Structure 1
């Protein structure tokens, strides 16, 4: 069991060392000041609580959501089971359970969005108006969604019948009933059920009923609006009945060889629990009146569960490792604190308790931003920016709204710096420089409206333009509810198609099918992040054509670390050819003591040396030294000594110089070494993506994925013995990025005490 300690009184927050937020906000961020400044729950979140008919953009924004939601309504809900949960402790599999949880939450989000899409057919009290017109208030000009044209949310003829209201039976599908029974929980106190041998997902099962004989078609008339509320209620109650909101990989009451089911008496607050609580808070905010009208008592149940599982543990227990109280702050902190913030503002007990919860969340956000380097870079990689710095930006949006501008962060320098990080890590097309556990081609559907909104606020035109160019054609079917609502309500985000770009460049149609938007932001000629020792340089300034060189120094104790000190990536026309593999699917091994038995984490599968049979060591002591960077009009060059990254006796120096010669259109990587004496040979590894053709005269041709021009890799064959090793990719996390295989080029060097070697990369003619 974990000790629970009482946190300091809210007044003590002002005495803590201030980070960039508290240094600006001062006493305004204390619990006492927040108790006076916070908006009431109905007005605290930055989307309307009452939605009229959605604007003309909604049909496009919600097209994919609607198709998926209509297809799944009337089918059984995803059911997370105890047998799936315990797989993490038995065979290390965490996706079997998490997939069910994520699919359940995604379905609820789609149902909420569809209920909003049909809200124009209901009254403010959630009841159907006689004419089918909206009695509820529209969103107004500020949100830009009050147009009379909207989205039809009905189910077309021939689709599966809609589910009935929630039934608490445990066997065959129950008959359709007009409302929930008064006692929504099988537990005597209405709280979270314990482990009683039933499926882990629910203590009682909510079943899909038969379509009622109301005489109307499934997709026509005001009845469709109420059926989406039924779907929302089913999903919300299923989450309330779910034994735990914590993912099995994070649960601290479960151990191999001990209990493998969660203890409901001591709920663990992790990413999953905070996600569920915030989702319920957003749903309550936008559909509260309609839920009260059709399912009286459900919202009280939600509040009871959220306070017991999230809000109370957040303030009562102060040893949460993700708070970073030991100085190790990572992306969990803003992710959880941002979701707790939303939850407290909407579902917390108004008064001092709610203000204290918000104050604690503010302190967590402040600690995270204080831990970022001044350049705003993320050692976890570009992909984790979305679940770290972006989470912080979203929370800062909420705070500014909830305090009527009293807590605004636009003038905090690190906020502006980290806003630039995504577009500065861009290689071209869908490709980004990946380090640590990030992927080179991250999944689509990121919340690009967040950097767009902050780019607009801060006047960062490149961040704004890049966000618009990445924008998808609509809201993703797997979008989180809070992110989907913010995107749907941002009129500027959707209206930009209809006016010139901010710097008067013409509006372009995106060629990659991502939807219309202003043209791509110019790619920078070079950038270097000293905080993480990561840099990118291009052959052609402000363009992606030709060669791009990326280089990484750093150390091997970074968050989501891979042993990759000194690694290089080379792209042709924005497509990686010499690559970083990224990460496979997460399992119990990924964050356990055997992490570095996974091949993708090892230095021998990165573009770095294997020195006299020894791979890089793991931990912050294994680092690059004497790092120097020069960027001139004709060349970019990064120099570093890699000797400290290897536990090799007698190694005095291993100097790596990665250079982009823009005039010669050539990348070179030079390694020079000094040992106390001769010994075993060393091997240089380079990981290649695409089709690889080897020639005997010291060259290989690499034809990258996506049909880019090929890369020609050459070396002096008299100075190294070459070999190729093909790695078949069976994990979808890797194969979806790189295809069926990656190929490792191995260059065996002589075991001399001193020597040097140069690899050259150019565009294949």
Structure 2
């Protein structure tokens, strides 16, 4: 913490009480700078903006793919005899029958993987060997009732059922992905498909128009567009992700000049809604594993917009865009790709180094470039391809640029996000993440006051994350799932009551004293009135690789004992007033006269959780022996 003392002159940074945790600030940094007339005057015609060789430019593709040619061809050859899978009616119905999304998503995703490998193999080889299977894939997707996922279609259908409804198309994440990907297939292979039969490319183009472009142009009620935003509504990664896909389809497919200009500008107005909603500090409240489709999809969107306008519409000089990028490097802990994982994010994230490098280059962030090189050097598989054709093509185009970077992790001793109320403190072998905020963030967990602690780049106190998505995950029953509940986070149960979800449940008086290494927040507002808590001030003090946690509280008429919960990666050993952690490497002390300690084993039978934590994690509960109306608890971790 000496570095903190030496580097910081501002002693206390606090949250202005007039700025709500989810305040929407109308900035309109895109349409505030660029009007529809700017698009009309700067848009490059006839796809001149596309920075990749034409399919017939064999020398261009040979040069672009040379280092990876054999692998690209080998991956494509795996699918020369691929049997395209039918997504059955019962696969869609499974979502409403038993809550499963995977049954429908698995065959569709596998078809998309097959098509993407065939696509890149044909671009690389250029002999037509993969073309028939590409046509089969194009024909298959053109014959589908919808490109949307079973979990997403009910919201936009009058039936409110998961079986696709005739005549209704909406843009969700999958429909957008397929529209964008298939637009690139049409761009590169239209002439080749026409040689086989003009119906193929014509049908493909009509489907992209009908399934992606037309719904976007005629509707304003798709929630992620944020045109009909309600005060309680969240704008999250869907917005830049879907808008990027729509923009790609418009740029590559739409022939009507006026419609093209109008469509491009509509995406700009929609993406402004996302930027307006995001915190100015740049933090991604959805966590690092969503950053790739949140801030990084915003980067993709802005990059393709700049390309299409000859770099006339360029937003990469905006400080907020840079801060949103650097969130991913700041949130990296180390070790086995551990990251800060509040909300639904996974605690492991290996990143996309070339994407991070390109983003860093665009916003002039040496930190991001060095972080990207750090990840790149650790990767055994340097390049892979997916249905996100733009990123895959950009990886091919820019792969050699990363070689000139110097690998390094951020070295700043702390990172404080004052609006989002995230704090990271790092010393050698010590990483603390703590949060305030409110309980209606994107992918929210009821976790105000929560913390994670990694020592020697290994998890000690953890946030479990989220299991495999199912029907409950994004429904009114979301908080029936244990991973969402405050009882399974490193926060107290007050007077027998857990935290509650909703934008009204939030912290107050959150502040960080950088000189002392002290983070403090009153989490009483995270609990419903039944808890009868006037104040519960949680304080984290980090110093010399140790952490002290104090809870000072005031409760009206307490009737049930407070319980302080700690989620642990490894099984602890209990001693009187002492908890031995991570095979006795670390110790937490507490007042045994005040608390009874108990440990619960949580078996992880969900693959999404067990792949991170193994078969078990542990919940330590310190249950108060008395029910005072005022008091102070203290815990020290060394």
Provide TM-score, normalisation by structure 1. Answer: 0.75
Please give the alpha-carbon distance, in whole angstroms, between the structure 2 residues aligned to 1:254 and 1:40: 34
Cα RMSD of the aligned pairs, angstroms, is: 2.3
Tell me which structure has the larger Cα radius of gyration. 1
More displaced stretch, 339-348 vs 265-274: 265-274
Counterparts in 2 of 1:63 and 1:639: CA distance versus 1, 3 Å: farther
Shift in Å at residue 458 of structure 1? 2.7
Shift in Å at residue 695 of structure 1? 2.9
Shift in Å at residue 414 of structure 1? 1.4
Please give the alpha-carbon distance, in whole angstroms, between the structure 1 residues aligned to 2:51 and 2:520: 47
Please, which runs of 5 or more residues in structure 1 have no aligned partner? Answer: 1-16, 120-224, 502-517, 541-545
Counterparts in 2 of 1:61 and 1:641: CA distance versus 1, 3 Å: farther
Please give the alpha-carbon distance, in whole angstroms, between the structure 1 residues aligned to 2:165 and 2:454: 49
Please give the alpha-carbon distance, in whole angstroms, between the structure 1 residues aligned to 2:43 and 2:159: 47
Please, which runs of 5 or more residues in structure 2 have no aligned partner? Answer: 1-25
Please give the alpha-carbon distance, in whole angstroms, between the structure 2 residues aligned to 1:436 and 1:243: 34
Shift in Å at residue 228 of structure 1? 1.3
Q: Please name the residue that 2:245 is paired with.
A: 339
Residues 322 and 333, structure 1, Cα contact 8 Å, conserved in 2: yes
Residues 244 and 264, structure 1, Cα contact 8 Å, conserved in 2: no
Please give the alpha-carbon distance, in whole angstroms, between the structure 2 residues aligned to 1:85 and 1:485: 32
Residues 35-114 of structure 1 correspond to what in structure 2 (within 5 A)?
A: 35-50=40-55, 51-53=57-59, 54=61, 58=65, 61=68, 66-114=73-121
Please give the alpha-carbon distance, in whole angstroms, between the structure 2 residues aligned to 1:532 and 1:602: 20
Q: Deviations over 1:543-575 (max 9, x none)?
A: xxx221110100101111100000010001223
Q: Which has the higher contact order (CA 8 A, sep 6+)?
A: 2
Please give the alpha-carbon distance, in whole angstroms, between the structure 1 residues aligned to 2:155 and 2:284: 31
Please give the alpha-carbon distance, in whole angstroms, between the structure 2 residues aligned to 1:569 and 1:309: 43
Q: Please name the residue that 1:726 is paired with.
A: 601
Question: Is structure 2 residue 189 aligned with structure 1 residue 287?
Answer: yes
Counterparts in 2 of 1:298 and 1:36: CA distance versus 1, 3 Å: farther
Residues 658-697 of structure 1 correspond to what in structure 2 (within 5 A)?
A: 658-662=540-544, 665-690=545-570, 692-697=571-576
User: Helix, strand or coil for the counterpart of 2:251?
Assistant: helix
Q: What is the aligned counterpart of 2:341 among 434, 448, 456?
A: 434
Q: Which of the pair is proportionally richer in helix?
A: 2
Shift in Å at residue 393 of structure 1? 0.6
Q: Deviations over 1:273-324 (max 9, x none)?
A: 1111000112223333333334533221111011111111111111121111
User: Helix, strand or coil for the counterpart of 1:86?
Assistant: helix
User: Helix, strand or coil for the counterpart of 1:244?
Assistant: coil
Q: What is the aligned counterpart of 1:757 among 608, 617, 633?
A: 633
Shift in Å at residue 256 of structure 1? 12
Counterparts in 2 of 1:238 and 1:643: CA distance versus 1, 3 Å: same
Q: Please name the residue that 2:354 is paired with.
A: 449
Shift in Å at residue 677 of structure 1? 3.6
User: Helix, strand or coil for the counterpart of 1:24?
Assistant: coil
User: Helix, strand or coil for the counterpart of 2:496?
Assistant: coil
Please give the alpha-carbon distance, in whole angstroms, between the structure 2 residues aligned to 1:55 and 1:636: 55
Shift in Å at residue 41 of structure 1? 3.9
Counterparts in 2 of 1:669 and 1:57: CA distance versus 1, 3 Å: farther
Please give the alpha-carbon distance, in whole angstroms, between the structure 2 residues aligned to 1:333 and 1:713: 43
Counterparts in 2 of 1:347 and 1:566: CA distance versus 1, 3 Å: same
Q: Please name the residue that 2:581 is paired with.
A: 702
Q: Please name the residue that 1:350 is paired with.
A: 256
Counterparts in 2 of 1:737 and 1:719: CA distance versus 1, 3 Å: same
Q: Please name the residue that 1:464 is paired with.
A: 369
Please give the alpha-carbon distance, in whole angstroms, between the structure 2 residues aligned to 1:684 and 1:62: 56
Counterparts in 2 of 1:117 and 1:549: CA distance versus 1, 3 Å: same
Q: Please name the residue that 1:532 is paired with.
A: 420
Please give the alpha-carbon distance, in whole angstroms, between the structure 1 residues aligned to 2:202 and 2:157: 34
Please give the alpha-carbon distance, in whole angstroms, between the structure 2 residues aligned to 1:639 and 1:554: 12
Residues 519-558 of structure 1 correspond to what in structure 2 (within 5 A)?
A: 519-540=407-428, 546-558=429-441
Please give the alpha-carbon distance, in whole angstroms, between the structure 2 residues aligned to 1:93 and 1:728: 21
Counterparts in 2 of 1:57 and 1:746: CA distance versus 1, 3 Å: farther
Counterparts in 2 of 1:301 and 1:605: CA distance versus 1, 3 Å: same
Please give the alpha-carbon distance, in whole angstroms, between the structure 2 residues aligned to 1:439 and 1:85: 27
Q: Deviations over 1:454-493 (max 9, x none)?
A: 3123321011111122234322354622211111111xx3
Residues 602-617 of structure 1 correspond to what in structure 2 (within 5 A)?
A: 602-617=485-500
Residues 106 and 480, structure 1, Cα contact 8 Å, conserved in 2: no
Shift in Å at residue 58 of structure 1? 3.8
Please give the alpha-carbon distance, in whole angstroms, between the structure 1 residues aligned to 2:590 and 2:191: 70
Q: Deviations over 1:583-602 (max 9, x none)?
A: 11111111111100000000
Q: Please name the residue that 2:215 is paired with.
A: 313
Residues 522 and 535, structure 2, Cα contact 8 Å, conserved in 1: yes
Shift in Å at residue 33 of structure 1? 4.1
Residues 112 and 387, structure 2, Cα contact 8 Å, conserved in 1: no
User: Helix, strand or coil for the counterpart of 1:43?
Assistant: coil
Provide TM-score, normalisation by structure 2. Answer: 0.90
Residues 45 and 345, structure 1, Cα contact 8 Å, conserved in 2: no
Q: Deviations over 1:112-138 (max 9, x none)?
A: 11111213xxxxxxxxxxxxxxxxxxx
Question: Is structure 2 residue 339 aligned with structure 1 residue 330?
Answer: no
Q: Please name the residue that 1:714 is paired with.
A: 589
Q: Deviations over 1:654-685 (max 9, x none)?
A: 110011112xx211111111123443111000
Q: What is the aligned counterpart of 1:419 among 320, 325, 334?
A: 325
Q: Please name the residue that 2:39 is paired with.
A: 34
Q: What is the aligned counterpart of 1:736 among 600, 608, 611?
A: 611
Residues 48 and 286, structure 1, Cα contact 8 Å, conserved in 2: no
Residues 437 and 561, structure 1, Cα contact 8 Å, conserved in 2: yes
Q: Please name the residue that 1:360 is paired with.
A: 266
More displaced stretch, 574-583 vs 593-602: 574-583
Please give the alpha-carbon distance, in whole angstroms, between the structure 2 residues aligned to 1:527 and 1:416: 15
Shift in Å at residue 363 of structure 1? 1.1
Shift in Å at residue 686 of structure 1? 0.5
Residues 357 and 373, structure 2, Cα contact 8 Å, conserved in 1: yes
Residues 413 and 427, structure 2, Cα contact 8 Å, conserved in 1: yes
Q: What is the aligned counterpart of 1:389 among 295, 298, 301?
A: 295
Q: Please name the residue that 2:14 is paired with.
A: none
Residues 77 and 104, structure 1, Cα contact 8 Å, conserved in 2: yes
Question: Is structure 2 residue 357 aligned with structure 1 residue 476?
Answer: no
Residues 372 and 407, structure 2, Cα contact 8 Å, conserved in 1: no
Please give the alpha-carbon distance, in whole angstroms, between the structure 1 residues aligned to 2:525 and 2:569: 29
More displaced stretch, 102-111 vs 281-290: 281-290
User: Helix, strand or coil for the counterpart of 1:297?
Assistant: helix
Question: Is structure 2 residue 539 aligned with structure 1 residue 657?
Answer: yes
More displaced stretch, 398-407 vs 362-371: 362-371
Please give the alpha-carbon distance, in whole angstroms, between the structure 2 residues aligned to 1:702 and 1:285: 57
